[in-house]
């Protein structure tokens, strides 16, 4: 049994990283770029002009497509593909966070391949390539700037689905921590939770783990918890923002599953996808709202794993009882989530699914009977419904 | 000030990783491969046949060039370039450790570029590319399987010089820990020391460090120390060998300098290069033989840095005096080196440079007055001579 890592993204980290945009595009021979982004804050802040000035200098053409929303929509992806075809786009630059990047990746798949791009998200087809994507990151959270992942929401049916292929790994990622100074507290907390969870999901599985990967994962999560708090206290703390920004990339580029026998649990992520598909909640908040319930539902299968994590991240003392230590670790994580004002129940998340909606969430999570969730503990449809219910 | 990371190598880690050789070469469209290796143990063990069987299956041609020695020689590199030209080689596969990989990279530079390949190592010219290189690793040590580095020794003048470019990063690295079960104790220790030192060199500089990078570096070094000892006690311990193998790659691929203001000190590496250029000692052993002396020569410039490292790696208690804690940390590292039977002086390394040789070593280390060494503390020619002298 082997595991693999492929992280070809050229990463630049530090003040002014975005000034390398022109160089990076020239290296890759870009001719005409679709610049994809969310709100007009990118324009108002002057960032867009600093980007397009570089393209002008390099003689590289471009068109803009804004309007990406959190939980990026398939409809805008389709619009981007149409625009890209019309404009003979050969490169896509996302300026923003995970939503802009994921949407850019989806457009890149759509422009490279024939047929309906949604097929790659339902798993009905596998893409044969993608246009190159580059990133100027303005939000430390999803790690999409180095990951193979793209998650898109289809308004038709409220489905949120991911497409993971190495074609989706960005060519370059420009990480300037100062661009995240203006991220509001709630989004800072959601991002902190998201990168913690990317590492935690990979930490839990039922195979053997590589000690080195455990050690690096624990160091990463501990660092995220410390700097998440610092960034909330002082949004303009360059060091805290810089740690978070690089942590977001490392948390989801595959490093933290290297050498492990399994690629991680991911049940919480899948369950959250259904929540935000149905209720349009923030991904990071959706994750913390169910993680504790999930953890208490599964931890007795192998409490030592939770105890190790809590000891490493929060210094939970080992008492000789892995069960007690595991319970204390789960509590420590929930306490941390509360401290950064993240919800630890669906009620705190602001939603209250009806019994009928619990059924719908559980059915969607198992793809209507086509799969189970989880690797640490395999969850059937009824387990999933029960976790949703207990998390209310 | 920005820092960059580029790690495009496709890594496969685990039992049987070498069985992916044919797939990896096919992906890259290899037509005719130069297989470069050291001793005939590669043939006797059956590994070579398992490799060439895959090439036969894929219809990929190959020629063999063995004979790489530790501190790989320029003369064999020249032979490889000549052979490669004659045989129209378009891909090079190194089977072995850092010496085979570094020699393969040098051949790859020579085959891609015109002129004398040694120019790239003296710094007189910069390569414009390189043939693709792939790796089956049989020794966890130098990290050359993911790094941009190649170090070659020129018999004419006893010079050992490095060439670092992104063209030198291997396309793929196949890491099967079982292939390192037969590595003898001395080489296991040298490898352990080498990967520790790759991380330690980057830890010491005079700029600001990213906390996350410090945390990951400390976790990495601690893991290396634990598994180095385990592998010595039980050479067939799969888990220990697996941790060391992945650690060797991470220690030198650039991860542990990301976000730091400077790329590290590297004085010990440069001083060791001159030692092994003149006396042909093992790289890892040469490093431990001078590190403690270097550390005591420089630590008072910023003792806190040594104290932090010792606390993280060996749990050295903080006493309130960074000077004392730093001294205790240096001692803890030297104690560890002794425990894995590595030398902590030139005498223990088995050499005793004359006063005249001290002058020659120092002159070579500063490229005859053309540079200084070090970033944590900048060392002039006379500092370097003094460290060599004190290390005797």
Residue B240 token pair: 């220990």
Q: Is residue A96 part of a domain?
A: yes
Instruction: Tell me: pLDDT of A85 over 90.
Output: yes
Residues A132, A244 within the same domain: no
Strands (E), A124-262: 133-137, 149-154, 159-164, 172-175
Which residues in chain B touch residue A15, judged by CB atoms under 8 angstroms apart?
A: 1-2
Cβ neighbors of B248 (< 8 A, separation 6 or more) are B137, B140, B141, B142, B143, B145, B191, B194, B195
Q: Is residue B283 part of a domain?
A: yes
Residue A248 token pair: 């977001």
Cβ neighbors of A75 (< 8 A, separation 6 or more) are A155
Confidence of residue A143 (pLDDT cuts 50, 70, 90): very high
Which among A11, A51, A18 is positioned nearest to A33, based on CA atoms? Answer: A51
Mean pLDDT score, B327-344? 98
CATH code, domain with A73 = 3.40.50.1970
Q: Is residue A1 part of a domain?
A: no
Contact with chain A for residue B262, Cβ under 8 A? no
Predicted confidence (pLDDT) per residue in A169-178, tens digit: 999 999 999 9
Q: Is residue A2 part of a domain?
A: no
Distance of alpha carbon B322 from alpha carbon B328, whole angstroms: 10
Which residues in chain B touch residue A216, judged by CB atoms under 8 angstroms apart?
A: 216, 219-220
Residues B312, B233 within the same domain: yes
Residues B167, B22 within the same domain: yes
Mean pLDDT score, B343-371? 96
Substitution target from B212, B251, B308 for chain A, most A beta carbons within 10 A = B212
Confidence of residue A88 (pLDDT cuts 50, 70, 90): very high
Residues B150, B294 within the same domain: no
- Nearest CA to CA, how far is A181 from chain B (Å)? 17
Instruction: Tell me: pLDDT of B165 over 90.
Output: yes
ipTM value, please give it. 0.96
**A259/B3 touch (CB, cutoff 8 Å), yes or no:** no
| Residue A160: per-residue pLDDT | 85
Mean pLDDT score, A142-171? 94
Substitution target from A12, A259, A262, A315 for chain B, most B beta carbons within 10 A = A259
For β-strands B2-14 and A2-14, DSSP reports them as antiparallel
Which chain A residues in 306-325 lie under 8 Å from chain B, judged by CB atoms? none
Residues B51, B156 within the same domain: yes
Contact with chain B for residue A3, Cβ under 8 A? yes
| Residue A333: per-residue pLDDT | 98
**b/e A295-319 (16+ beta carbons within 10 angstroms → b):** bbbbbeebbebbbbbbbbbbebeee
Predicted confidence (pLDDT) per residue in B6-37, tens digit: 999 999 999 999 999 999 999 999 999 999 99
CATH code, domain with A334 = 1.20.1090.10
Predicted confidence (pLDDT) per residue in A110-133, tens digit: 999 999 999 999 999 999 999 999
Residues B320, B197 within the same domain: yes
State chain A's mean pLDDT as an integer. 97
**A15/B1 touch (CB, cutoff 8 Å), yes or no:** yes
Residues B267, B336 within the same domain: yes
Q: Is residue B5 part of a domain?
A: no
CA–CA distances in Å: residue B96 to residues A143, B46, B47, B69: 35, 14, 10, 11
Are the C-beta atoms of residues B208 and B261 closer than 8 Å to each other?
yes
Confidence of residue B160 (pLDDT cuts 50, 70, 90): confident
Distance of alpha carbon B370 from alpha carbon B343, whole angstroms: 30
Mean pLDDT score, B191-219? 97
Residues B249, B324 within the same domain: yes
Confidence of residue A236 (pLDDT cuts 50, 70, 90): very high
Using only C-alpha atoms, what is the Rg of chain A? 20
CA atoms within 13 A on the CB side of B279: 21
> A215 to chain B: nearest residue by CA?
B219
Q: At what angle do helices B238-252 and A211-233 cross, to 10 degrees?
A: 50
Residue B274 structural domain: 185-391
| Residue B277: per-residue pLDDT | 85
Residue A379 token pair: 């969850």
- Nearest CA to CA, how far is B3 from chain A (Å)? 5
**B211/A219 touch (CB, cutoff 8 Å), yes or no:** no
Predicted confidence (pLDDT) per residue in B49-69, tens digit: 999 999 999 999 999 999 999
Q: Is residue A5 part of a domain?
A: no
- Nearest CA to CA, how far is B122 from chain A (Å)? 27
Predicted confidence (pLDDT) per residue in A238-283, tens digit: 999 999 999 999 999 999 999 999 999 999 999 999 998 899 899 9
Residues A165, A275 within the same domain: no
| Residue B237: per-residue pLDDT | 98
Tell which of A179, A198, A217 closes a domain: A179
Q: Is residue A68 part of a domain?
A: yes
Residues A82, A108 within the same domain: yes
Residue B294 token pair: 């270097």
Instruction: Tell me: pLDDT of A167 over 90.
Output: yes
Instruction: Tell me: pLDDT of B108 over 90.
Output: yes
Distance of alpha carbon A243 from alpha carbon A229, whole angstroms: 12
- Nearest CA to CA, how far is B249 from chain A (Å)? 12
**b/e A104-128 (16+ beta carbons within 10 angstroms → b):** bbbbbbbbbbeeebbebbeeebebe
pTM: 0.96
Instruction: Tell me: pLDDT of B1 over 90.
Output: no
At B156, phi and psi to the nearest 5? -75, 90
Q: Other C-beta atoms within 10 Å of B81: how many?
A: 22
Using only C-alpha atoms, what is the Rg of chain B? 20
Q: Is residue B4 part of a domain?
A: no
Distance of alpha carbon A172 from alpha carbon A170, whole angstroms: 5
Residue A250 token pair: 């490392």
Predicted confidence (pLDDT) per residue in B283-314, tens digit: 999 999 999 999 999 999 999 999 999 999 99
Tell which of A179, A202, A236 closes a domain: A179
Mean pLDDT score, B93-119? 97
Total structural domains within chain B: 2
Residues A234, A359 within the same domain: yes
Distance of alpha carbon A295 from alpha carbon A305, whole angstroms: 11
Confidence of residue A1 (pLDDT cuts 50, 70, 90): confident
Helices (H) and strands (E) in chain B, counts: 16, 8
Tell which of A123, A158, A179 closes a domain: A179
- Nearest CA to CA, how far is A62 from chain B (Å)? 26
**Cα B284 versus chain centre, distance:** 8
At residue A324, the 3 state secondary structure works out as helix
If you count them, how many residues does chain A have?
A: 392
Residues A245, A329 within the same domain: yes
Which residues in chain A touch residue B262, judged by CB atoms under 8 angstroms apart?
A: none
Read off the DSSP letter of residue B259.
T
Contact with chain A for residue B226, Cβ under 8 A? yes
| Residue A386: per-residue pLDDT | 98
């Amino acid at each position: 049994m082997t595991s693999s890592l492929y992280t070809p993204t050229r990463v630049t980290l530090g003040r002014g990283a975005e000034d390398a945009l022109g160089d990076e595009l020239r290296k890759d021979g870009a001719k005409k770029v679709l610049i994809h982004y969310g709100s007009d804050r990118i324009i108002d802040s002057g960032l867009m002009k600093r980007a397009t000035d570089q393209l002008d200098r390099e003689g590289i053409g471009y068109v803009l497509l804004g309007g990406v929303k959190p939980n990026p929509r398939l409809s805008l992806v389709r619009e981007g593909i149409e625009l890209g075809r019309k404009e003979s786009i050969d490169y896509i630059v996302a300026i923003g966070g995970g939503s802009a990047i994921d949407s850019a990746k989806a457009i890149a798949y759509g422009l490279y391949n024939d047929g309906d791009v949604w097929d790659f998200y339902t798993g009905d087809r596998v893409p044969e390539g993608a246009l190159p994507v580059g990133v100027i990151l303005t939000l430390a959270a999803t790690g999409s700037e180095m990951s193979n992942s793209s998650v898109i929401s289809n308004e038709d049916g409220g489905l949120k689905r991911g497409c993971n292929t190495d074609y989706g790994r960005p060519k370059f990622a420009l990480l300037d921590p100062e661009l995240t100074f203006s991220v509001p507290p709630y989004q800072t907390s959601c991002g902190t939770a998201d990168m913690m969870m990317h590492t935690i999901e990979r930490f839990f599985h039922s195979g053997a783990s590589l000690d080195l990967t455990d050690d690096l994962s624990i160091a990463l999560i501990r660092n995220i918890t410390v700097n998440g708090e610092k960034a909330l206290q002082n949004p303009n703390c360059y060091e805290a923002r810089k740690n978070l920004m690089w942590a977001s990339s490392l948390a989801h580029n595959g490093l933290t599953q290297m050498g492990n026998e399994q690629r991680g649990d991911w049940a919480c992520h899948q369950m959250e996808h259904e929540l935000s598909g149905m209720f349009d909640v923030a991904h990071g908040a959706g994750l913390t709202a169910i993680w504790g319930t999930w953890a208490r539902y599964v931890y007795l299968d192998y409490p030592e794993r939770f105890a190790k994590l809590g000891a490493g991240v929060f210094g939970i003392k080992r008492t000789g009882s892995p069960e007690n230590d595991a319970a204390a670790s789960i509590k420590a994580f929930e306490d941390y989530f509360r401290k950064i004002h993240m919800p630890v129940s669906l009620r705190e998340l602001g939603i209250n699914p009806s019994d009928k909606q619990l059924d719908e969430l559980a059915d969607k999570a198992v793809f209507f009977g086509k799969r189970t969730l989880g690797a640490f503990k395999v969850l059937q449809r009824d387990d999933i419904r029960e976790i949703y219910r207990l998390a209310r």
